[in-house]
Chains A and B, each alone.
Chain A
Amino acid sequence: MKHKSDCIFFWGIVALLGIFGVFLFCMPQKSFSETENRCLATFQKESISEFFDVSFQDNLANMANDQFIGRDIWVKLSVTLQRAIGFHDIGGTYLGKDGYYFERILDSQLSGNRYQNNLHFLEQFSEKSQTKVTFLPVPSAGIILSEKLPTNAVLYNAKKLYGQAENGLKNTLFLDIRADMSKSSKTKQVYFKTDHHWTMEGAYVGYTAWCKMHKIQPKALECFSPSQKSNAFFGTLYSKAPTFCAKPDSFMLPMKLSKSETYINGKKSPYKNSIYDWSKLKAKDKYGVYFGGNYGRIDIHTKHACKKKLLIIKDSFANSIVPFFMEHYQTITMLDFRYYQDSVMELVKSGQFDEILILYEMSNFARDTNFFKILK
């Protein structure tokens, strides 16, 4: 009996492993993972000739992980295991209360002088430009919703960063919306649970704060006829630690916007009479519905009577606040330094903007390696 069992167990495991191996090659190759929101490595036959510089081996190792049968389930299983033994952060993401995910950013990751340097670049820019410059750092979700963080969880010292901006910026207007966001978060969902971005409600808080600062009468949210466009949004934080039981976010969009034409990197966008790329609502990353994602330069021309022009230097957080601004400006130009390479100074000189807004999520700004381009 024992002999038979030995035999079955040994060959059973060998067969099981072998079958997984066979599946690697005979299943159709997937080049993109929706769950993880990233490209997957696929098997490159031609790389066999690169055996001696080990790139074939690297390709096979990556492909074996990425094309493994039932990959999504295995990944979820690993997250479940880590949660089961009490881990509250996985892959740089806090698994918070009520299904909230938070980016895990510690002081150590924001160390060095990058933040100070970026503030310094900003000051120099404000000094040189004739136009009023406002800095609006969007607080990180974990800073506002700190009670949703896991017990004892630590984030970077936001107070210090805000303090440095407050004291260091002389020629730049500084718009600190932490109090407004906290107040609003008591009654509304201002951040997504599965994504690091702010929701439409959160962006609306930013918009009203901006209006207040610049003595503009903000419109009520209802005037934009907000409506739910999806109830199955799993954001990028979820992708880092997907689980079997996570609940999706619902995705709201302001629908009643001024008629406009959008130019992406100088070319007229295909989104008819809208800034929304509706195809993204069917994709995984629904936040891409705004303008279809992030581009170096986006110009929005509305049919407004007022002639005001706004320049926004921004990260992706600005995408959801822009629809509200469209009510108040005839032209809005957005620059994203990850992709924008031209001179900002020249643009500012020739553009005759009425306002310049610098809008970044705080930790993004503190880590941004491209912000020096503002002086170009």
Chain B
Amino acid sequence: MVFSSIVFLCIFLPIVIILYYLCPLKFRNFFLLLASLFFYAWGEPKYIIIMLFSTVFDYCNGRLIAYSILKGKKNTWGRLVLAISVVGNLGILCFFKYTDFLLSVVNSVAGSGFSLLGLALPIGISFYTFQTMSYTIDVYRGNVKPQTNLISFGMYVCMFPQLIAGPIVRYSHVEHEINTREHSFALCADGMQRFLLGLGKKVLLANQIGALWDEISNLQISDMSAALAWLGAISYTFQLYFDFSGYSDMAIGLGEMFGFHFPENFHYPYESKSITEFWRRWHMTLSGWFREYVYIPLGGSRKGPVRQVLNLFLVWFLTGLWHGAGWNFILWGMYFFVLLTVEKFFFPKWLQKLPSLLQHLYTLFFITISWVIFACDDLGRLKNYLKMLFGIGVPASNRLAQYEWTTHAIFLFILAVASFSLATTLARKILKKIATHAGETVSFWLKCTWCLAILVLSIAMLISGSYNPFLYFRF
């Protein structure tokens, strides 16, 4: 089930919220687990087995690790169980996500004829395997206590708000709230507002601009021009951000409705002045995960520059691969490895001396190119698209480009405004002023009205059945 669908909004969500609050406190985790399993089974009735296996597997691993620590055998048995957990999780992930890719690489290199498995990727597998791994590692490190209640642990792994597309909630983030959390209407109302704003980002912004990218990327070269290729790349840049951050907002909002505080996932990434800063603001829970469980354990920057470059290389190779089983994703990871390394070692000071407008432009330019690499899963297509961006083989502009730029001008402006913090900060300030002068209730209802308008327009767009893809199905 996708959050941005009528079935979720008008059937699943109201029923779950009402039943959740009718449930006595001690049954709420169990109910949330059931609801989440149903949510997952809706789209993937068969693969639910894998998720359940993963849950029970790491529940046991967590307890075994805790037991071995208790018995003073952390470095022998504890380490072994941890290794089993990591290998098990990565094994499942790799089997479903990378087998076909590896087979096709082997086939093309060795000329062999292994037939591909053609397995559908279980939805959300990249997210929940990372979450359960964070749990066993943290238990091993002694950062969190092991969860003794299988239902509570199952609820953490399967929780529907963040199950499909993150944020990647580490166990340590919600350890306390799993067992005891406070529900308040203030949090619920806040969560609902957050959810509706996220819905608007997804349905009103991402889907609309995504349709333009879809159109441009399917044009024949005879209709193309450099100006159009740039419009396409910019569209996809906006689509990814609003799709993904809208989804994270919805997840965080839903979490609040059930009393959870999930970590933030995006912080106006397109406002960054460098690629390094960009990755501190984009998909923060993923980069945090890699930092915590890969980069720092490998030694991070503490073991000299050569080792640091190697560590960066590994992290970005894995980050690229995590995003998809394809050469373009590996290339995409390597692209960022190069950029980040260059930024780190060669011109950190020089970059900071540039006028800030140039810093922004530099960052946005390389980010936009990176999304083109991300979008083109066929390397031949990628090459062609990059060529078009630089006007090779196509005119600089054409009439179609003029039309698309003008017809989307207002919308692009709206997207740009929504990507930067300025408008939000301004709106907050105004609401605060209103709150002090006219009372908190007035400012609250003003924001509510805005959210309600977004809901109405989102429903209209959803019903008219225009373009509503889900970019994260392959994750």
Contacts and interface: CB of A to CB of B under 8 A. Distances in A.
Interface stretch (B10-18, B111-119, B124-132, B324-332): B10-18
A141 B465 CA distance: 27
Contact of A74 (B9, B10, B45, B460): B460
A149 B227 CA distance: 22
B6 A61 contact: yes
B438 to A, nearest CB: 12
Contacts of B382: none
List of 9 A-B pairs having minimum Cβ-Cβ separation, nearest first? A18-B14, A21-B10, A6-B189, A78-B464, A6-B185, A64-B6, A152-B403, A86-B410, A77-B460
Contacts of A82: 208
Contacts of A3: 185-186
B406 A17 contact: no
Interface stretch (B69-77, B102-110, B441-449): B441-449
A7 B185 contact: yes
Interface string A52-78: 111001001100110010010011011
Interface residues of B, number: 63
Contacts of B5: 61, 64
B402 A5 contact: no
Contacts of B218: 108
Residue among A61, A77, A78 facing the most chain B CB atoms (10 A cut-off): A78
19 contacts: A6-B184, A6-B188, A6-B190, A9-B445, A13-B452, A18-B15, A20-B9, A21-B14, A61-B5, A61-B7, A64-B5, A64-B10, A65-B6, A106-B400, A111-B220, A150-B407, A151-B406, A152-B399, A152-B402
Contact of B188 (A10, A18, A24, A64): A10
Interface string A12-26: 011111101100100
Nearest to A62: B465
Interface stretch (A87-95, A289-297, A307-315): A87-95
Given A5-B444, A51-B41, A108-B220, 8 more contacts: A9-B444, A14-B14, A21-B15, A52-B45, A64-B6, A78-B466, A87-B407, A107-B220
Interface string B1-45: 100011101110111011000000000000000000000011101
B139 interface: no
Nearest to B455: A13
A20 B208 CA distance: 24
B463 A14 contact: no
Which bucket holds chain A's interface residue count?
35 or more
A207 B227 CA distance: 44
Contacts of B306: none
B219 A17 contact: no
Nearest to B195: A13
Interface string B394-414: 000001101100111111001
B386 interface: no
A75 B460 contact: yes
Given A13-B455, A21-B10, A81 B461 contact: yes
Contacts of B440: 1-2
Interface of A: 1-3, 5-7, 9-10, 13-18, 20-21, 24, 51-54, 57, 60-61, 64-65, 68, 71, 74-75, 77-79, 81-82, 85-89, 91, 106-108, 111, 150-154
Contacts of B457: 77-78, 81
Contact of A65 (B204, B409, B462): B462
A150 B193 CA distance: 38
B164 to A, nearest CB: 15
A87 B189 CA distance: 34
A57 B42 contact: yes
Contact of A2 (B1, B192, B441): B441
Nearest to B191: A10
Contacts of A6: 184-186, 188-190, 444
Contacts of B15: 18, 21
Residue among A6, A54, A79, A82 facing the most chain B CB atoms (10 A cut-off): A6
B18 A18 contact: yes
Nearest to A242: B464
Contacts of B257: 10
A32 to B, nearest CB: 16
B463 A78 contact: yes
Contact of B408 (A87, A106, A107): A87
